[in-house]
Structure 1
């Protein structure tokens, strides 16, 4: 496998205990998972027909089916990821197939082992129902090696049937194999390993001359794993786009908003996945995607409108599409209305779609007349453009650079408070943009907006590689080009890489220590690079000084904040840099700052205080 996840260790046991403590009402379910794993490890060959394993597997599966509680399913999925469940299932599965000389399972082959196969069917159901409940569990399942068997299943089923159209949509082995692969492929970390199993070619074979149901199931899988190299096979059969668009229209007209079992949201997510490939963006628009998406934006539920707006945003990364969208008064009007929506998710995504649509090629602004070219190149901050999943590592990078005198802009909250306009200003004021590359980064529309804006302004870009063995392609590969990149995926010692990065950056982004005490800035849309409000002797503040400060930042009504002393506020500032995760948990839980706006204001105010 071309990705690495931590082994089961003391941390996993600690995290499992934390889950039990946090969800005492689910303890019976946790105990059943532990018993299931213990039984499977003790009896991997499933002797005595695996009856105990089957009973315990059924209990774990029924824990979700008994209540249909989605939040509970996610907790159980998380707990499974802290156990050896994935590896134990793989061992049992491998032994079963090896002892019987089997490679792929089909209904016909399974019929020969009817008594024993029931246990394995239940194990497949368990994987199917929990691989999309926890990203880490999907990674565990992928790294175990069991996914190759499900690719073999799909090959064997197709081989037995002769033609894709003869595959039954009700075939439990087809549905579970495809379902597990699809669930795991929703996690960007596992996509490359799934591709390496030959999944793309198998899925492409199914969409030829197949029923619309089978075709769409495979398209939804392909939407997650298709890469630039293999996309030409999709382009060779353009009916796939028509099929999806027709099904969205049909689903929207139905009372339950479903077509052949697929919801409007599921189908639009598939469209957006296919649109991630730049070659498909123009074709989807030509096939009438906008009229279909417009209908959803106007008639759909909040969830459906959110998905549709996200698809429009993705399509807007194509230059020709942008021109079409700009001249579509109805589309622009709907997006502007959605931007004002009380639903923050819809508002943010509509704003992103509008921003991407209205962007024109910008040229870098000339330096001020009294500023030399070299000064212009060096002045400004370092901007860290990253995807949320890599925050922990990049906070460490930020602190290392800050200690070396660099001024950093990094949106550390990722709570929808950072507007695209603030991002644009951050890029414009940057001397260098650190583009932190991974598959997650490539898939993020916010990240693409940042990176392409920096590229269009011809800002110096330094790539940081956050995903081990990841090879950027498409638009991200174009931005990376032949640039030297710095590996922060854990593949090499951190200190070595940060030293190499500092050498590459040189003086760009460094500031004199007396210019601004804190060289780290988050969310500059509310706070400038150096705060205009300078408070001296924070540690010696009186209660009145604290109240005055709270009044200045508009948080005088927050009761818990009034109890803080100057020394405590100063300590929180240090914690913000050294342990940001603790800082944000503390202010949310202990200081009871519940609203996004209050958290943003307080963290920025603490960040910009000066020590003296």
Structure 2
């Protein structure tokens, strides 16, 4: 999340302007101010121009950091650097490729490393004096503004912030101001910016480990739960939503109780998704992008209660609109489409949702069309949704869902989907022989099947690695199946929602077995299922 509520006004970027402004929305700057302050960056385009504009002040700022830390102030060179970077974001905020380019460059040049020194300075001053003076606060706003907007624009910059341990500073601010920020405007501003940066940095999956190591879940969870009535620039739900979505990105899928929420946050997100879809910049008035809202809904849908609330809130028509209508100037149609289809896929794991989605003929036709799309991820997501919609009530749906998920992770999976039509013993034997690993989706019905026993016995004789998956609640393997499995760990996937939860662990156990490198033929993972 970037945009106005997380950046500075253009007037605040002028070093000669000694007035303070509480308004952080760049849209409120006058046309004259925009023209004057942005003139030097308005025509900047391409990596060469960016480097030419920023490189001199960046190097000067890096050289000054030691003396600045000793003096406890932000030097002029660092101020100039931040001003230029923020001006550039203001001028180019409707051209994501440009702001992403700057964020990537800042990450490569190690800017987050020396930003960390200033976060330490300001935290120490707040500890000593309980606040910041006007000059320090103006400089700190610039620093926070850069971190907010460019962690939103660039995943590389977001990752560099996490690696630099700035996350620890941000969590310190949240902890320090937890009980007082609603009574103090400066504290409230810092809390909003801190939790927004934490949210932006939670989206790249590589950063999850840094949150876990720092014990962030409990603290962010407190903000998600206890700030639903806290107004942020007239918005009573924004702060708690940022907290909840941060949790959704950093929590394990097998711990989805942590992200269970109510219709307040869900309705807020769906309303903002609708708002974003009808604005030229694809951002709502509260500055949420359509893409991040759809991605957030997908994460929250890992919880069954949330999943039902999302569909009840009327999200489906807006997700369909994302699939149908992209904005080529801001984001590739394919990226938005894939996120929206994945969200519908996540929603389809709940039976009640599945039935409702299955009735939308326009959506089904679009998904069928996308099954042959040139983009692999979009094609596989559409296929996955259609599989669930066809088979949600059938036992084989679990095996099919496992197959689809494994394929999305790069595995070459064969499944005996034609058994009901009478597949041959030779085909089954060939599949077992070519398999690197055999997954057994077991139930009483599986154990009683002569063909399933033949397949399993053959896999055992060939010393194939067998991974058992329980698809019938309470079933315990006995007889011949119990002998084959012995004391192997059994994955429990007794309903479709369990597939998403179990998949990370299953992928870790499989490793590279059954994966196909580019241009190579590999052994496959065989999924043996009940029929």
TM-score normalised by the shorter chain: which range applies? 0.5 to 0.7
Higher relative contact order, chain-length normalized (CA < 8 Å, sep 6+): 2
Distance 1:70 1:77 in 2: 10
Once the 2 structures are TM-superposed, how far is the Cα of residue 188 of structure 1 from its aligned partner? 0.8
Once the 2 structures are TM-superposed, how far is the Cα of residue 121 of structure 1 from its aligned partner? 2.2
**Cα separation, partners in 2 of 1:55 and 1:249, compared to 1, 3 Å:** closer
With normalisation by structure 1, the TM-score equals: 0.52
Once the 2 structures are TM-superposed, how far is the Cα of residue 219 of structure 1 from its aligned partner? 3.8
Distance 1:145 1:86 in 2: 9
Which secondary structure state, in structure 2, belongs to the residue aligned with residue 101 of structure 1?
helix
Kept in 2, the 8 Å contact 1:78–1:136? The answer is yes
Distance 1:325 1:64 in 2: 40
Question: Per-residue CA shift, 1:420-475, capped at 9, x if unaligned?
Answer: xxxxxxxxxxx7799xxxxxxxxxxxxxxxxxxxxxxx99xx99xxxxxxxxx974
**Cα separation, partners in 2 of 1:168 and 1:306, compared to 1, 3 Å:** farther
Distance 1:292 1:282 in 2: 16
Q: Which of 115, 118, 135 is equivalent to 2:135?
A: 115
Kept in 1, the 8 Å contact 2:302–2:500? The answer is no
Kept in 2, the 8 Å contact 1:169–1:214? The answer is no
Correspondences of 1:144-223 after superposition (within 5 Å): 144-161=164-181, 172-195=189-212, 196-197=215-216, 198-210=218-230, 211-223=236-248
With normalisation by structure 2, the TM-score equals: 0.59
Which secondary structure state, in structure 1, belongs to the residue aligned with residue 127 of structure 2?
coil
**1:240 maps to 2:260:** no
Question: Per-residue CA shift, 1:79-102, capped at 9, x if unaligned?
Answer: 332334323222332234235525
Once the 2 structures are TM-superposed, how far is the Cα of residue 57 of structure 1 from its aligned partner? 2.8
How many positions carry a matched residue from both structures?
391
Match of 1:332 in 2: 364
Worse-matched range after superposition: 166-175 or 80-89: 166-175
**Cα separation, partners in 2 of 1:41 and 1:382, compared to 1, 3 Å:** farther
Correspondences of 1:287-366 after superposition (within 5 Å): 287-294=313-320, 296-297=322-323, 302=333, 305-318=337-350, 321-339=353-371, 349-359=381-391, 361-362=395-396, 365=416
5+ residue gaps, structure 2, are 1-45, 231-235, 328-332, 400-414, 439-463, 468-483, 490-496, 524-531
Match of 1:380 in 2: 434
Question: Per-residue CA shift, 1:581-611, capped at 9, x if unaligned?
Answer: xxxxxxxxxxxxxxxxxxxxxxxxxxxxxxx
Kept in 2, the 8 Å contact 1:285–1:321? The answer is yes
Kept in 2, the 8 Å contact 1:77–1:130? The answer is yes
Distance 1:201 1:77 in 2: 28
Distance 2:285 2:102 in 1: 30
Kept in 1, the 8 Å contact 2:245–2:296? The answer is yes
Question: Per-residue CA shift, 1:132-178, capped at 9, x if unaligned?
Answer: 4443432332122221222333345552245xxx8989954233212
Distance 1:66 1:294 in 2: 32
Q: Which of 155, 162, 177 is equivalent to 1:135?
A: 155
Distance 1:383 1:80 in 2: 44
Correspondences of 1:473-492 after superposition (within 5 Å): 475=499, 478-479=502-503, 485=509
**Cα separation, partners in 2 of 1:200 and 1:130, compared to 1, 3 Å:** same
Once the 2 structures are TM-superposed, how far is the Cα of residue 184 of structure 1 from its aligned partner? 0.7
Once the 2 structures are TM-superposed, how far is the Cα of residue 187 of structure 1 from its aligned partner? 0.9
Kept in 1, the 8 Å contact 2:57–2:78? The answer is no
Worse-matched range after superposition: 285-294 or 248-257: 248-257
Kept in 2, the 8 Å contact 1:36–1:53? The answer is yes
Once the 2 structures are TM-superposed, how far is the Cα of residue 324 of structure 1 from its aligned partner? 4.0
Q: How large is the Cα RMSD of the aligned pairs?
A: 4.8
Kept in 2, the 8 Å contact 1:223–1:274? The answer is yes
Distance 2:499 2:519 in 1: 26
Once the 2 structures are TM-superposed, how far is the Cα of residue 380 of structure 1 from its aligned partner? 0.6
Match of 1:81 in 2: 107
Distance 2:98 2:507 in 1: 45
Distance 2:280 2:157 in 1: 35
**1:58 maps to 2:75:** no
Which secondary structure state, in structure 1, belongs to the residue aligned with residue 262 of structure 2?
coil
Once the 2 structures are TM-superposed, how far is the Cα of residue 181 of structure 1 from its aligned partner? 0.9
Question: Per-residue CA shift, 1:540-559, capped at 9, x if unaligned?
Answer: xxxxxxxxxxxxxxxxxxxx
Kept in 1, the 8 Å contact 2:370–2:379? The answer is yes
Once the 2 structures are TM-superposed, how far is the Cα of residue 23 of structure 1 from its aligned partner? 4.3
Kept in 1, the 8 Å contact 2:367–2:386? The answer is yes
**Cα separation, partners in 2 of 1:31 and 1:276, compared to 1, 3 Å:** farther
